[in-house]
Structure 1
Amino acid sequence: MEAIDTNALLQLRNLANRMPDALTETDQQVLEAIYYESVEDLDNPVSLFAYTLAKAMRKQVAGGQSQEHIYLQRFDIPQIRLFELLIQQFPLANLSQHCTNTLLIDALADCEYPVLMDIGIGTGFQVATIIGGLAAKTGSQVKQLHVAGIEPFADALVAAAQNIQQAATRAPFAVTLTTRTDFIENLSINDLRQMLPAEHDGIFANASFALHHIQGAAQRKVVFETLKALPVQALVLSEPNSNHYTADYAERFTNCVQHYGALFRIIDTLPITATEKTALKLFFSREIDDVLGNAETVRVEKHYATEQWVALFAETGFQLRKRDASFSYTTLNGTQLETYLPDRYATVFNGEEITSLFWAE
């Protein structure tokens, strides 16, 4: 199945080439027509993808807020169910975390007093899973694990503390936690050092789908340099493979269609209900809304393509290392965890690298 029909795609691509300031009145009428035609058939996956693109482009033209169409209310599902679908069924989230968790558990288990610095810790689900994996790891040397969690949203940190504490009660080692409510780019090396225990034998930094929110290239470089100087034993990075950082609207449109079109096709393969598939797509449509709908000064979904992350690692003195690991599974719902790349792992769908998973020292 194609993510969007050729005629509509060509029309939207032509409009993107003139976005945002060179659209004629006729162009705007074409955009409106695509939007309203697609919204009448949202049960059709092709129409739904056209709707997400056209909605975001309308927002860019209007320079205002984008609202979900009232017809989409019937696709609402509870947030807890959406979270379950993302973690259990959506292979990019599941396989990516399975890969990085396996690598981190193996490395942490060789230390007695390791530090896990989680950048964008959220509600602590991934850290709790790592604690559980360490607790079950044969031959683990861990006597005390210190978690340093960085997260800009205070409510998430409250949930993270609860989830980590619950996981710690089942671990045969001590778990301590320090948190900081802030963005990583706002923290100096002294700020990070203050989050560390007096004694430790290895700092491992994990950033799962978080660092693309750092707005400027210079800020990203400083963050990498700061982590390198801390020093971390490893920076473990999970990121989508698509250049949405570029300010060129037409290029960003092309990259957006390729990346999110693949995500939508992956969702179509999942063994879940049609309503749940649409709900997952609408979750990602909010990212499309940001990539194509928001002004350059307020966009936050500024993904790098794989080669851009590789260049940043090299520029800041990190060496990419392909750690050997034994994974309990490498495929999920038609998506493959690629284990044969020379310098990284990746999730691959129909031959396309969707997310890149780095271990850098």
Structure 2
Amino acid sequence: MKTIEIDTLTQIHALTSKMPNLLNDEDKALLNQIYTEALEDLEDADSMFTYSITKAMRKHFENVQSKEHIYLQKFEIPQIRLFELLIQQFPLANLSQHCINTLLANELAKHSNPVLMDIGIGTGMQVCTIIEQLIGNQNCQIKKLTIVGIEPYGEALKVTEQNINKISPNAPFSIGLITKEAFIEKMALSEIQQLLPATYDGLYVNASFALHHIQTAEDRKLVFETIKRLKVDAFALSEPNSDHYEKSYAQRFKNCVNHYGTLFKIIDTLVITNKEKAALKLFFSREIDDVLGNTEDVRVEKHYATEQWIELFEETGFTLEKKEAKFDYTTLNGTILQQNLSNRYSTAFEGEEITSLFWAK
């Protein structure tokens, strides 16, 4: 999917073979011209995407302090509203989590003392949603649920603790929380094992849009191997389907335009204000900034395509399963939860797989 007008896209794409360090003055002038024209008309959908792409590309050579904020401030909305839009209206986050949460809650409910380990737990909102589902499950067998949250940002873990403390009194079972401020790829197997309670009868690991931040393929493989050695009952993984690990700038540009162009198109279908649509697009433009604007040694949004994750599961001895479940809903704002795949679920928009949702043993 391409939201940029074809002539403009062709001009920009022609420059990518010289990116990031071989642009001449004429190339830079052209890129600056396209960027400036887009910046001045951000209420137009094509212009917003063109701006996001060219802004990122210019980071490699443009050091002048931009005055773009005067154009962007009209789209600023409260952070809490942005969060609500992402969770409630944006279907990729909502549908993806609804799928994985349902699978996890169904399996956790069969145990009396299960452990849910969440890698990249953030502020704990997904875990809280799973707990709410367990509370509402009349057949839930849980006596004690242990949450193990691994997260590199300590401030987020403080909020996690607050959020779980709020919901715990509502549960007919006890809830224990163990947190660790760390990058999962820096943790040895023994360190992770020490986080587990002395006894438990089920271990489930969840990683939601977190593992693509692991910088090297070697470290990703090591993390998968470590999870496998934990002898988990299941490993649930949610990730976008696009190869931004790709080192070739021109190919990564194609992948980026396709993936984020589709996300922008999805945003345009939402029944929200134009200001809110622009705010959501600017949120994702930060990721575009990283994919196309940062140098290889510092960029962090290194997504894998679906096939790359599948290969990693196979290399590390996992078997992918299609865990059957009944979902409360399977469509949201034009995006569907795809259920006809043999080894995973996915979210899809206009036939294109946007996020891949894995359940592995």
The TM-score, its normalising length taken from structure 1, stands at 0.98
Q: 1:127-142 alignment to 2 at 5 Å?
A: 127-142=127-142
Moved more, 130-139 or 260-269: 130-139
Provide the residue aligned with 2:103 in structure 1: 103
Task: Go from structure 1 to structure 2 and tell me whether the alpha carbon gap of 1:227 and 1:13 turns closer, same or farther (over 3 Å shift).
Answer: same
Q: What is the SS of the residue equivalent to 2:41?
A: coil
Aligned length: 361
Structure 1 residues 182-230: Cα deviation after superposition (integer angstroms, max 9, x where no partner): 1110111111111111110111000000000000000000000000001
Q: What is the SS of the residue equivalent to 1:115?
A: strand
**Is 1:149–1:180's contact at 8 Å kept on the other side of the alignment?**
yes
Q: 1-side partners of 2:354 and 2:53: how far apart?
A: 19
Is 1:360 aligned to residue 337 of structure 2? Answer: no
Provide the residue aligned with 2:281 in structure 1: 281
Deviation of residue 180 (structure 1)? Answer: 0.4
Moved more, 239-248 or 59-68: 59-68
Task: Go from structure 1 to structure 2 and tell me whether the alpha carbon gap of 1:356 and 1:193 turns closer, same or farther (over 3 Å shift).
Answer: same
AA paired with 2:35? Y
Is 1:80 aligned to residue 59 of structure 2? Answer: no
**Is 2:103–2:325's contact at 8 Å kept on the other side of the alignment?**
yes
AA paired with 2:136? A
Provide the residue aligned with 1:206 in structure 2: 206
Q: 1-side partners of 2:176 and 2:70: how far apart?
A: 46
Q: Please, which runs of 5 or more residues in structure 1 have no aligned partner?
A: none
Provide the residue aligned with 2:348 in structure 1: 348
AA paired with 1:303? H
Provide the residue aligned with 1:14 in structure 2: 14
Q: 1:60-79 alignment to 2 at 5 Å?
A: 60-62=60-62, 69-79=69-79
Is 1:270 aligned to residue 291 of structure 2? Answer: no
Q: What is the SS of the residue equivalent to 1:123?
A: coil
Is 1:261 aligned to residue 261 of structure 2? Answer: yes
Q: 2-side partners of 1:210 and 1:151: how far apart?
A: 10
**Is 2:268–2:277's contact at 8 Å kept on the other side of the alignment?**
yes
Is 1:238 aligned to residue 225 of structure 2? Answer: no
AA paired with 1:74? K
Deviation of residue 233 (structure 1)? Answer: 1.2
AA paired with 1:4? I
Provide the residue aligned with 2:290 in structure 1: 290
Q: 2-side partners of 1:339 and 1:101: how far apart?
A: 15
Is 1:323 aligned to residue 327 of structure 2? Answer: no
**Is 1:63–1:294's contact at 8 Å kept on the other side of the alignment?**
no
AA paired with 2:25? E
Deviation of residue 325 (structure 1)? Answer: 0.2
**Is 1:116–1:147's contact at 8 Å kept on the other side of the alignment?**
yes
Deviation of residue 25 (structure 1)? Answer: 1.2
Task: Go from structure 1 to structure 2 and tell me whether the alpha carbon gap of 1:66 and 1:322 turns closer, same or farther (over 3 Å shift).
Answer: farther
Percent sequence identity over aligned pairs: 60
RMSD, aligned α-carbons: 1.3
Structure 1 residues 91-118: Cα deviation after superposition (integer angstroms, max 9, x where no partner): 0000000000000000101111100000
Structure 1 residues 14-68: Cα deviation after superposition (integer angstroms, max 9, x where no partner): 1111111221211111101000010110100100100000000000234799885
Q: 1-side partners of 2:222 and 2:62: how far apart?
A: 35
**Is 2:120–2:208's contact at 8 Å kept on the other side of the alignment?**
yes
Q: 2-side partners of 1:50 and 1:116: how far apart?
A: 42
Task: Go from structure 1 to structure 2 and tell me whether the alpha carbon gap of 1:326 and 1:216 turns closer, same or farther (over 3 Å shift).
Answer: same
Provide the residue aligned with 2:4 in structure 1: 4
Q: Please, which runs of 5 or more residues in structure 2 have no aligned partner?
A: none
Task: Go from structure 1 to structure 2 and tell me whether the alpha carbon gap of 1:248 and 1:164 turns closer, same or farther (over 3 Å shift).
Answer: same
Provide the residue aligned with 1:165 in structure 2: 165
